[in-house]
Chains A and B, each alone.
Chain A
Amino acid sequence: MTTPAPRSAPNSSVLPEGWGMVIGLEVHCELATATKLFCGCPNHFGDQPNTNTCPTCLGLPGSLPVLNEHAVELAMRLGRALHCDVNRSVFSRKNYFYPDQPKDYQVTQYDLPTNLGGHLDLPSGHRIGITRAHIEEDTGKLNHVGGGGRIHDAEHSLVDYNRSGVPLVEIVSEADMRSSEQAKEYATELRAILLATGVSDAKMEEGSMRVDANVSVHHLGEPWGTRCEIKNLNSVRSLGRAIDHEALRQIDLLNNGETVRQETRHWDEASGRTGTLRVKEDADDYRYFPEPDLVPLVPSAADIARIDAALPVLPAARRSALADAAGVLATSGGVVVAVERGLDHLAQAAIRSGADAGRVLTHVEHNLAVDGAAALSPEGFGDLVKMETSGELTATQAKTVLAEMVATGGAPAAIAQARGFEALDGSALEGIIDGLIAAHAEEWEHFRNGDDKARGKLTGFFVGKVMQASNGQADGKAATALLRAKAGL
C-alpha cells in the first residue's frame, strides 16, 4: 500500500492563530434510478413541470407507496463502498407542513437506517467517519414568482412535483473535518465514489448532489463551540467559501463577546456571506414514527455478498494502484488528478510499457484535461513519452503532438513527422541564440545586468524569439539554460 495510514486532519490555515474549526457534512444525492422511490413515475430532471406525477407522488388521498427495489440496491451499494454495515431498516414519517411536500410528511429512515458506521478516506490520507447513509424521498420544488424571486417577497409561488418522491440517499459524516480544504476534498471524493458506483450522477449544478455543512469554531485545546448549519451548497467552491466565511463570522462574534446561536443559515454566492434562515429554537418537532404503509427492509447476507462482489474498484484503490505503478505517493497531484479524470488506466498502461512515470503523470495532470483524453491509446501515449525522454521531441513539441493525438487519434511518430518536429541539436540552438544576441543588443544588456523582474520578462522575450526562429522545435528549458550560461549567470 502506498496510501499512508489514515491520520487526523490538520487545522485550517485561514483562521487566526489558536483557533480551530470543526466541520461535519450532510450530503443529499439523488439515486440514479429510472423511476421514483415509491411509484413508477420517471426520475428525470428538467421536464415540463408536473408532468412526471401520479396519485402516489402527489400524495393524493388513498394512494400508497411501493418501494423501488433498485433504489434500495443503489443505497446499499453506496453503503458498502463507504464501508458501512448494512442493516435491517425501517422507514419513518417525518411530519412537517410545507407546500413542496404533498403529504406534509417525508418518508425517510430515522432510528433504523440502511447504512450505519462507515468511513471515507480522503486522497490526502485523512479518514472521515460516516455516521449513516439512509434512504428518503425528495420534495417537490417551489418556484417563487415576483419580487426578488425569494419566498419572502414573492407575489405567489408555483410548485413543481416532478421531483417529489425522487429517491435520495443522505450521507451524514462525523464531525471529522478541520478545514474547508478537507470538506472540499470530502465532497469531491464522495462524488467520485457516487460516480464510480453508478449510485448517482451527482450533478451539483442540477441539484442531484446537495451539501449541507455543520460548522463550529473553538480555541484549540478547548471544547467545540456551538454549530451552525449552512444549507444547500451547490458547488464544491461554494462549500469551501461558505465554510471559511462562516468560521470567521463565528470567531468575530466570539471575539466581540457575543455567542454563536445554533441556527440554520443559507449561503449567498453573490455577496459571499451566510445569512440566518431559521433559528434552532423554532425548529419543528418532526414527530417521527414508523411508516405503516411500508414493511421493514431486511437485506440477507447473500444480498450484501452479491453487492460487495459487484462493487467496482473505488477511487482510493485506483489511486493506490497507480501510485504503486508510478512509484509515487497516492496523495501526489498527478495520481489524484488521473483518478479524478478516469485516466488512471491509461497512465498505468503507459508506465507499464516503459514510459517515464513522472512525465506520464505530468501530461495527465497538465495536458490532458480535455474531452477525448480517455480514448487515447496507451501504446501511443507511452511512445510519445518515450520520444520525449529520448530527446526526439522537446517538451513543447510533445505537448503539441499529444493534443493532436487526442484530437485525431494519430500515432505520435507520424504526427511529429508531419509537423516536421525534430529536436534541435545543441549547436543549432546556440547558433540561433548567438544571432538573437547580436540583433537585440539592448535587450541582452538588460538581461545580463537587470534585476530579476526584468530578466524574467526578457527570458520570455528571448525564448519566444528562439521558438519563432526554430519553428517551435527548440526546447524552452534548454534555451533558457543556454541564455543564462552565456550571460554568465
Chain B
Amino acid sequence: MSALEIAAAVRAGERTARAVVEEHLSLIGVREPELHAFNLVTAEQALAAADAVDARVAAGEDPGPLAGVPIALKDNLCTTAIPTTCSSKILAGWKPPYDATVVERLAAAGAISLGKTNLDEFAMGSSTEHSAFGPSKNPHDITKVPGGSSGGSAVAVAAGFAPLALGSDTGGSIRQPAALCGVVGVKPTYGRVSRYGLVAFASSLDQIGPFAATVADAAALYEVIAGYDPRDSTSIPEALPPVRHRLDDGVAGLRVGLVTELCQAEGIAPDVVARVAAAAEALAAAGAKVEEVSVPAVIYGLSAYYLIAPAEASSNLARYDGVRYGLRVDAPTTAEMYDRTRTEGFGPEVLRRIMLGTYALSAGYYDAYYGKAQKVRTLIIRDFQAAYERFDVLISPTSPTTAFALGAKADPLAMYLNDICTIPSNLAGHPAMSVPFGVGADGLPVGVQVMANALDEVTMFQVAATLEGAMA
C-alpha cells in the first residue's frame, strides 16, 4: 500500500494505524538483519503513537494527512529523548532535548516514526560505508551499496520497511541513494524545508527532503514538511504552492533541457545515459519540447563543492569537543582532551573533510580556495539562470552508474565523483529529484534527475510524475 492509501484507510477507519505499524515492524524483523537500514527501531514508541492516532480516529477527529503512515527518519534529525547519532561514535549517548521542525510537522500530520536510519557519518559519503555502525545494503543486491549518505532511508523505502522516509541532501545524499535503490528522492529548494533540528554538515547546502516509492507519496510528504519556519533564518517566507493536485497536469508544452555536460561527464556509464535518453523520449512523447542544453559551469561544481562543504563542515563539527555531550576521551589538558576525543570519535572520512575545510579557510588560502569556490558557485547559478530562461526543467542522470559493489570505491576521489550530477543543484539552491526510470545493464535501478528553477517544485513534480507514468 502506498502512503496515501494507508492514510486514506486509517482516516476512514478501515484500517488501524496499529495494524499498519505492526505489519511494517514484522517486515523489518525479517529483512533488517541483512540490510541494516536502521540505527535504531523505536517499535514501542511507534505502537504508542499508532494507538494515539487510532484513538483520535475513534473519537471522530482527523489525525492529519499522513494518519498512521510509517516513516523512517535519517539519524541526523533530532528526536526528543531518542538517540541521534549521525552514525558517529562522537555522539555516543546523546539524546536531543528537542524535535526537529520536520519531526514536529510529521507528528502533527499523523505520521508514525519507526526509527532512525543509517547514514554515512555526518552525511559525508555516497555509500553509507562511512557509517561508524557498518554499511547498509542495497535491497536489490546485498553485495551492492545503497548509495548515500541517506542510504538507510532509501533502503527502508525500497525494502518496504516504510512507505516514506526523510533524508538530507547536501550534494546528492537523497537523490543518489534514491536512484541506486529504485525509489523517488527529492531535494527541495534551499530554504523550503526548515533545517531546524537537522544536524548540520554544510549549512548553505543542506536540505531535508522526502523518499517515497511513488511520486505522489513524495509530494504528499513534501507538502507536510515544507513551508516557512521562523526558527530557521534561511527558511523561505513565501507561501507554499500545493503540489499534489497538479501531478496529473502532464508536460504538454513544457520545455525540457537535457544537460549535455552532465551526460558526458567523466565516469557516466552508457547504460545510464541510455535511460536518460529514453526518459527524454518519453517526455517528448507526452508533449514536452525536449532539447539538449549546455550549462557549462556545472562541470566545476564538484571542485567548488569539495571546498565549500568541507569548509562549513570544519566549523559545524567543531562543537564535538567532549566538553558538553557525546564522547569524551579524558586527558590531562583541555587541548589534549579535544585531540583525543575528536581523533577517536570521528571516522577517517569526517577527519579528512575537516582537514580539507580547515585548510581551505586558513589565512592566506581563503581567497584561493573558499573565496574562489564561492565565485564558481555564482557562475553555476548564472548558467542555470540562463538555461531556465529557455527551459522549464532540466534533466540528467542522477548517479553516474547503478549501485556499485561494497568496498569498490575505497579511493575518496572515486567516491566523490558519484555526486557530479547532483551537486550543481545544491550549489544553486535549486530543487531537484530523482525518479526511477528502468534498470541498467546489470538489472539494477537507474534514476533520472529532474531539476527545476528555485521554488518551482510544482513543475519538477509534474515531470517526475509523467516519467513515472511512462514506466507503468
Interface residues of A (CB under 8 A from B): 55, 58-67, 93, 95, 97, 99, 102-105, 159, 285, 287-289, 292-295
Contact = CB atoms under 8 A, between A and B. Distances in A.
A62 B233 contact: no
Interface of B: 76-78, 84, 86, 91, 94, 96-98, 100, 195-200, 202-204, 230-234, 311-312, 314-315, 318-319, 321, 323-325, 334-335, 338, 358, 361-363, 366, 370
A287 B358 contact: yes
Contacts of B312: 289, 292
Given A60-B96, A285-B362, A285-B363, A65 B233 contact: yes
B200 A61 contact: yes
Contacts of A293: 200, 203, 233-234
Nearest to A38: B233
A64 B231 contact: yes
A59 B199 CA distance: 11
In the complex, which of the residues B98, B233, B338, B362 has the most CB atoms of chain A within 10 Å of its own CB atom?
A: B233
Contact of A61 (B199, B233, B338): B199
A88 to B, nearest CB: 16
A61 B231 contact: no
A104 B200 CA distance: 14
A97 B321 CA distance: 8
Nearest to B78: A62
Contacts of B321: 97, 99, 104
A63 B203 CA distance: 11
Given A64-B232, A293-B233, A293-B234, A97 B338 contact: yes
Nearest to B196: A64
Contacts of A294: 233-234
Nearest to A161: B324
A95 B361 contact: yes
A467 to B, nearest CB: 66
Contact of A66 (B94, B230, B361, B362): B230
12 contacts: A61-B91, A61-B199, A62-B78, A62-B198, A64-B232, A93-B315, A97-B335, A102-B323, A289-B366, A292-B234, A292-B312, A293-B234
Interface centre among B77, B84, B361 (most CB of A within 10 A): B361
B319 A64 contact: no
A289 B197 CA distance: 22
B86 A67 contact: no
Contact of B319 (A65, A66, A104): A104
Contacts of A58: 324
B319 A292 contact: no
A342 to B, nearest CB: 39
Contacts of A159: 323
Nearest to B334: A99
Contacts of B199: 61-62
Given A58-B324, A295-B233, 12 more contacts: A55-B96, A61-B94, A61-B96, A62-B196, A66-B233, A95-B315, A97-B335, A99-B321, A99-B334, A292-B203, A293-B203, A295-B234
A298 to B, nearest CB: 14
Nearest to A93: B315
Contacts of B311: 289
Contacts, number: 97
Contacts of B84: 61-62
A167 to B, nearest CB: 15
Q: Which 6 A-B pairs have the closest CB atoms?
A: A104-B318, A287-B361, A292-B204, A292-B203, A61-B199, A62-B78
A62 B361 contact: no
B370 A289 contact: yes
A287 B369 CA distance: 12
B195 A64 contact: yes
Contact of A67 (B233, B314, B315, B323): B233
A102 to B, nearest CB: 6
Contacts of A93: 315
Contact of A103 (B96, B97, B319, B325): B319
A97 B318 contact: yes
A103 B312 CA distance: 13
Contacts of B97: 55, 60
A62 B195 CA distance: 8
B315 A102 contact: no
Contacts of B233: 64-67, 293-295
Contacts of B319: 59, 61, 102-104
Nearest to A58: B324
Given A61-B200, A285-B362, A95 B323 contact: no
B326 to A, nearest CB: 9
A103 B321 CA distance: 9
Nearest to A67: B233
Contacts of B197: 62-63
A58 B321 CA distance: 13
Contacts of B314: 95, 287
B369 to A, nearest CB: 11
Contacts of A66: 230-233
A105 B361 CA distance: 13
A99 B96 contact: no
Contacts of A289: 311-312, 315, 361, 366, 370
Contacts of B358: 287
A418 to B, nearest CB: 64
A357 B257 CA distance: 84
B241 to A, nearest CB: 23
A102 B323 CA distance: 8
B381 to A, nearest CB: 15
B323 A99 contact: yes
Nearest to A95: B315
A285 B362 CA distance: 7
A93 B200 CA distance: 15
Nearest to A105: B315
B98 to A, nearest CB: 5
A79 B56 CA distance: 56
A287 B315 contact: yes
Contacts of A292: 202-204, 234, 312
Contacts of B94: 61
B100 A62 contact: yes
